[in-house]
Amino acid sequence: MTTVRTATPEASGSGREDGLTEREAELKALAERAGRDLEDASAPEILQWAADTFGKEFCVTSSMEDAVVAHLASRALPGVDVVFLDTGYHFPETIGTRDAVEAVMDVNVITLTPRQTVAEQDAEYGPRLHDRDPDLCCALRKVRPLEEGLTKYAAWATGLRRDESPTRAGTPVVGWDARRRKVKVSPIARWTQDDVDAYVAEHGVLTNPLLMDGYASVGCAPCTRRVLEGEDARAGRWAGRAKTECGLHG
């Protein structure tokens, strides 16, 4: 396993009016075309396309809620990089899931850590920033590290699903990530929770033990609670606040 403490990447140059390099413009067109062509493709087909198109320039990101997308991707691209953001605030069960994925699956887990430890962040911003300004905390501990950690890839895969919340209902199976200038692949966008459960059962895929303990979506410990009956899967994230996303997928 590799642990990377993130730092500022070098800026990429561009001579185009839209600010994209020629390569980025090609990737954007490719993403938009693939989003249309692969809308009805299966998750393995979408991941095989990504593996064949991008090879080692393709990675999967995982919150270690489950290893479904990592498992699917490892079949298309054995040894695929699986990028995990260690915010310093995870449940022990999440770190254990990460370690188990690394031990039993044909993947290369890369752990990204923020520039500052929690103690360093507390010293600069005061303790419990997640209670006072969760957007800033997520920006420092999730959004920026991922941006910096993804620079070497042309495409990344997520486990986003359209049925998770209204904010994710329009997720394309392949799209252009304008913020990071990468192709963003969401191979299970069209899946339901039942599809996930069936895949986990059929293939014995690792899942976070907290999913068996009332949590429907697993994030940082200070910002995650169990869901109540009838709530959507992400209702336990930043409960009681207007915030519903960490900013990784905006």
Binding residues vs ligand SF4 (CB under 6 A): 87, 89, 130, 134, 137-138, 141-142, 219-220, 222-223, 246
* Beta strands per DSSP E along the chain: 2-5, 58-61, 80-85, 107-113, 155-157, 174-177, 182-185
Nearest to 216 by CA among 238, 192, 200, 233: 233
Residue nearest to ligand SF4 (CB): 220
The C-alpha angle 142, 80, 219, rounded to 5 degrees, equals 30
For ligand SF4, give the closer residue by CB, 142 or 184.
Answer: 142
Would you say 59 is a known binding-site residue? no
Q: Is the CB of 87 or the CB of 171 nearer to ligand SF4?
A: 87
Q: In the complex, what is the shortest distance from the CB of residue 147 to ligand SF4, in angstroms, rounded to a whole number?
A: 14
C-alpha closest to that of 191 among 215, 168, 216, 221: 168
From residue 167, how far is each of 89, 104, 223 by CA, in Å? Answer: 24, 33, 18
| Alpha-carbon radius of gyration of the chain | 18
DSSP state of 119: H
Q: Report the alpha-carbon distance of residue 112 to residue 181 in Å, rounded.
A: 19
Rounded to a whole number of angstroms, the minimum distance from the CB of residue 87 to ligand SF4 is: 5
Torsion 32-36-39-44 (CA) sign: negative
Tokens of 34: 């693939």
State the minimum distance, in angstroms, from the CB of residue 70 to ligand SF4. 21
The minimum distance between CB 92 and ligand SF4, in angstroms, equals 15
223 annotated among ligand-binding-site residues? yes
Q: Which is nearer to ligand SF4, 25 or 239 (CB)?
A: 239
Answer yes or no: 246 catalytic.
yes
Between residues 35 and 134, which has the closer beta carbon with respect to ligand SF4?
Answer: 134
What is the smallest separation between the CB atom of 164 and ligand SF4, expressed in angstroms?
A: 16
- Taking the least distance from each CB to ligand SF4, the nearer of 100 and 221 is 221
Edge-to-edge strands of the sheet including 107-113? Answer: 2-5, 107-113, 80-85, 58-61, 155-157, 182-185, 174-177
Residues recognised as catalytic: 246
